[in-house]
């Protein structure tokens, strides 16, 4: 058994000199010294010791628990060469107003050296409503770009070659509609679906847990997702079908351990669903990817990313019988923590973002979004989004953080914390299993309650001064909000509604009707729905019409509301 | 002894961010108020209907989707139309400073932006919504 401890295979307890030094340090350590507030625990209230040492590595087997980059269980990274071969993808999430406006922003970001696109959709698109639906009033183009029709999608990517860029789309219950629109847009550009690369979030489980954008109940949503996985495995082989997301779980107030555990539990639920639908695990698991938050507790975040890789690899190989190493390797995108940004002294958010981004890089992320300083107030301006991108470029080209692979591997502290986070996640997996799995735990409100509890604990710590947030409850200054914000003109809503209505007026109504009728029959018969989504989109049915069509069959989800 | 102050914590529109609403709901409950939470994705009509049915003294509306300039005034208008203008409408979320005055002008009693201490909100509710209990 390969020991990590001191190179000679000796454990700390067997070394008299080390014991004596440790005793001397303990005698000299001032136990009356108190850290401010809650700083004797991580941001997630995980207990910390003042010092970690060789004894914290006892039990770690290098080969079994860490191994080399690119090798099972991938604790040190999924690629043998990591950033020395290729940097992470710098991917800034963007979308606002109309498709034409967002198209301009994409072109700006690509000119600034961004290497991938990431689409933010507005609330109506995320919930399955067209821009002109009464429920969309006041929401059109606000939180993202307004997309109701295939024409909108074509405008979004006008002049951008979909054969040479990868696109990530943060969309869930309406993900198959967006994918169908994207495929149809690419076809119109002459790019076949086989060549398309990108990622669909399509993680409905975390919607019920944290982000709360849905149409149908969990069970039919899982069927739609497995249909997408099966379709893409065959027809869009380079597409990442699900981006299993902890980001929103963390933003909703979870701890790091909860983010880790709930996200991976969701991942395993998709794997089980795929297997239950008759697919071979290695046919779809290599196309699953992850999306994590990077919060402000630097080492806890790094440990979380490392633990995530190890847990996924172990479960995929040992429990789900995956044989392809690509099914074992957890690839992930990271976004810095929006919830850590402050409206007070917003320029300080640049520093928060930089530390969080550095943690993501030291944790081995495959792609990264850095938040702009003004995102707590509004969608980012061009200037602020450029600073956020430059932050990544400074990490990549100036700090040297990517020059050595997993540079914190072997750190007494980081390895111990990695182990402890893995153990905390395993404990949650047991509790979820005891409830019958992820979907029953959603129905009984388990995740929602755990997250709300953690959010409230944190808020109380903030209120009583145990936690300090610079500029919010300490180091406060009187200030006027002086940064300039991006405004979404209300005229955009009217303009977009007119466009959608003109689109509906221009089409062949009979074609739309027959496409939607076939779509509904497929939903009832259990046939794969994805070709029907494509057919509906190409027949010019709108996002809202396609989404609404299945409500009579699948029902509409209502959340159990509790405080 | 006067009855406890009753507050409806509401999420309107398509916004799914409920962290702030839930934290405020718990904090108001811990402060001794009776709190009812609407759940997500309510229309302005549903919010006002719930407020009247539950006979609340105040509505705390949380909006992080940018739709505040539409939803706050609409709810205020519906309250007035239902002869329930004495119900105190307040709220918070991702709301730029320059939008606060227009909301106050539309009859919103207070707008609390991110980072507001909970004690400030509790004091506001006790003072402003308390008037309706006494009345």
* B34 min Cα distance to partner chain A (Å): 12
DSSP category for residue A561: -
Instruction: State the DSSP string of A31-86.
Output: TT---STTTTB-TT--B--S---GGGGTT-BIIIII--TTSTT-TT-SSSSGGGT-
Measure Cα distances from B93 to A131, A270, A292 in Å: 23, 33, 24
Instruction: State the DSSP string of A376-445.
Output: TTSSPPHHHHHHHHHHHHHHHHTS-TTSSSSTTTT-HHHHHHHHHHHHHHHHHHHHHHHTTSHHHHHHTT
**Residues in B touching A561 (Cβ below 8 Å):** 37-40
- Determine whether the interchain pair A563/B37 forms a contact, defined as Cβ–Cβ distance below 8 Å: yes
Rg (CA), chain A: 24
- Determine whether the interchain pair B66/A142 forms a contact, defined as Cβ–Cβ distance below 8 Å: yes
Burial B41-54 (b: 16+ CB within 10 A, else e): bbbbeebbebbbee
d(CA B65, CA A170): 16
Which residue from A minimizes the CA distance to B114? A343
- Determine whether the interchain pair B23/A136 forms a contact, defined as Cβ–Cβ distance below 8 Å: no
Please give the ipTM for the structure prediction: 0.92
H and E: helices and strands count for chain B: 6, 5
* B129 min Cα distance to partner chain A (Å): 21
Interface test with A, best of B66, B92, B116 (most A CBs within 10 A): B66
**Residues in B touching A136 (Cβ below 8 Å):** 14
d(CA A230, CA A544): 24
Domain residue spans in chain B? Answer: 6-134
d(CA A251, CA A375): 14
Q: Least CB-CB distance to A559: which of B40, B69, B115?
A: B40
Spatial CA neighbour of A452 closest among B121, B29, B71: B29
Q: Is B132 on the interface with A (CB under 8 A)?
A: no
Architecture of domain A63-463: Alpha-Beta Barrel (3.20)
- Determine whether the interchain pair A123/B15 forms a contact, defined as Cβ–Cβ distance below 8 Å: yes
- Determine whether the interchain pair A139/B98 forms a contact, defined as Cβ–Cβ distance below 8 Å: no
pLDDT per residue, tens digit, chain A (563 aa), is 444 544 444 444 557 898 999 999 999 999 888 777 778 899 999 999 999 999 999 999 999 999 999 999 999 999 999 999 999 999 888 889 999 999 999 999 899 888 789 999 999 999 999 999 999 998 999 889 999 999 999 999 999 999 999 999 999 999 999 999 999 999 999 999 999 999 999 999 999 999 999 999 999 999 999 999 999 999 999 999 999 999 999 999 999 999 999 999 999 999 999 999 999 999 999 999 999 999 999 999 999 999 999 999 999 999 999 999 999 999 999 999 999 999 899 999 999 999 999 999 999 999 999 999 998 887 888 899 999 999 999 999 999 999 999 999 999 999 999 999 999 999 999 999 999 999 999 999 999 999 999 999 999 999 999 999 999 999 999 887 666 777 777 889 999 999 999 999 999 999 999 999 999 999 999 999 999 999 999 999 999 999 999 999 999 999 888 78
Which residue from A minimizes the CA distance to B21? A563
Q: Is B19 on the interface with A (CB under 8 A)?
A: yes
Spatial CA neighbour of B59 closest among B70, B42, B69, B67: B42
Write out the two tokens for A186.
């690419």
Superfamily of domain B6-134, CATH level 4: Cobalamin-binding domain (3.40.50.280)
Q: Least CB-CB distance to A343: which of B29, B38, B113?
A: B113
């Amino acid at each position: 058994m390969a020991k990590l401890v001191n190179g000679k295979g000796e454990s700390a307890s067997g070394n008299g000199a080390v014991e004596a030094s440790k005793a001397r340090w303990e005698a000299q350590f001032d136990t009356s010294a108190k850290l401010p507030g809650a700083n004797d625990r991580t941001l997630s209230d995980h207990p910390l010791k003042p010092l970690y040492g060789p004894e914290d590595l006892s039990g770690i087997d290098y080969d079994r628990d860490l191994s080399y980059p690119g090798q099972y269980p991938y604790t040190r990274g999924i690629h043998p060469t990591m950033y020395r071969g290729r940097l992470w993808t710098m991917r800034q999430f963007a979308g606002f107003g109309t498709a034409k406006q967002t198209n301009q922003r994409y072109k700006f970001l690509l000119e600034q050296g961004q290497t991938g696109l990431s689409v933010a959709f507005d609330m109506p698109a995320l919930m399955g409503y067209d821009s002109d639906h009464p429920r969309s009033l006041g929401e059109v183009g606000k939180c993202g770009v307004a997309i109701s029709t295939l024409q909108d999608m074509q405008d979004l990517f006008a002049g951008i070659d979909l054969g040479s860029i990868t696109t990530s789309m943060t969309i869930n219950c309406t993900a198959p509609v967006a994918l169908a629109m994207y495929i149809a847009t690419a076809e119109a550009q002459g790019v076949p679906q086989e060549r398309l690369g990108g990622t669909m979030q399509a993680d409905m489980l975390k919607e019920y847990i944290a982000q709360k954008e849905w149409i149908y109940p969990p069970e039919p949503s899982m069927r739609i997702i497995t249909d997408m996985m099966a379709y893409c495995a065959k027809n869009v082989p380079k597409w990442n079908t699900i981006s299993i997301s902890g980001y929103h779980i963390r933003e909703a107030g979870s701890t790091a351990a909860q983010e880790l555990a709930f996200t991976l539990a969701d991942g395993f639920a998709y794997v089980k669903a795929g297997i239950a639908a008759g697919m071979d695990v290695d046919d779809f698991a290599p196309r699953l990817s992850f999306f994590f938050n990077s919060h402000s507790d630097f080492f806890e975040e790094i440990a979380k990313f490392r633990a995530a890789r190890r847990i996924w690899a172990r479960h995929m190989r040992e429990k789900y019988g995956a044989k392809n190493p690509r099914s074992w390797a957890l690839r992930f995108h990271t976004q810095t923590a929006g919830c850590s940004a402050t409206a007070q002294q917003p320029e300080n958010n640049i520093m928060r973002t930089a530390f969080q981004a550095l943690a993501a890089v030291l944790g081995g992320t495959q792609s990264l979004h850095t938040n702009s300083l003004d995102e707590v107030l509004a969608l980012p301006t061009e200037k602020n989004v450029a600073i956020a991108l430059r932050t990544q470029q400074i990490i990549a080209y100036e700090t040297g953080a990517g020059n050595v692979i997993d540079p914190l591997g072997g750190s007494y502290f980081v390895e111990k914390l990695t182990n402890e986070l893995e153990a905390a996640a395993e404990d949650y997996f047991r509790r979820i299993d005891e409830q019958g799995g992820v979907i029953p735990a959603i129905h009984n409100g388990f995740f929602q309650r755990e997250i709300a509890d953690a959010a409230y604990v944190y808020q109380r710590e903030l209120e009583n001064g145990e936690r300090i947030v610079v500029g919010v409850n300490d180091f406060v200054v009187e200030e006027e909000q002086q940064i300039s914000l991006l405004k979404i003109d209300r005229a955009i809503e009217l303009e977009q509604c007119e466009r959608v209505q003109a689109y509906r007026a221009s089409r062949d109504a009979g074609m739309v009707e027959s496409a939607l009728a076939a779509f509904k029959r497929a939903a009832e018969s259990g046939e794969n729905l994805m070709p029907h989504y494509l057919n509906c989109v190409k027949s010019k049915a709108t996002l809202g019409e396609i989404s609404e069509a299945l409500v009579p069959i699948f029902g509409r989800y209502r959340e159990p509301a509790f405080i | 002894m006067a009855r406890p102050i009753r507050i409806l914590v509401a999420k309107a529109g398509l916004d799914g961010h409920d962290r702030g609403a839930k934290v405020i709901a718990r904090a108001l409950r811990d402060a001794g108020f009776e709190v009812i939470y609407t759940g997500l994705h309510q229309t302005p009509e549903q919010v006002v209907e719930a407020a009247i049915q539950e006979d609340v003294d105040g509505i705390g509306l949380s909006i992080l989707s940018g739709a505040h300039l539409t939803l706050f005034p609409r709810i205020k208008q519906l309250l007035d139309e239902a002869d329930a203008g004495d119900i105190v409408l307040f709220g918070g979320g991702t709301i730029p400073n320059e939008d606060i005055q227009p909301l106050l002008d539309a009859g919103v009693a207070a707008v609390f932006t991110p980072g507001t201490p909970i004690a400030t909100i509790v004091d506001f509710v006790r003072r402003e919504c308390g008037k309706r209990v006494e009345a």
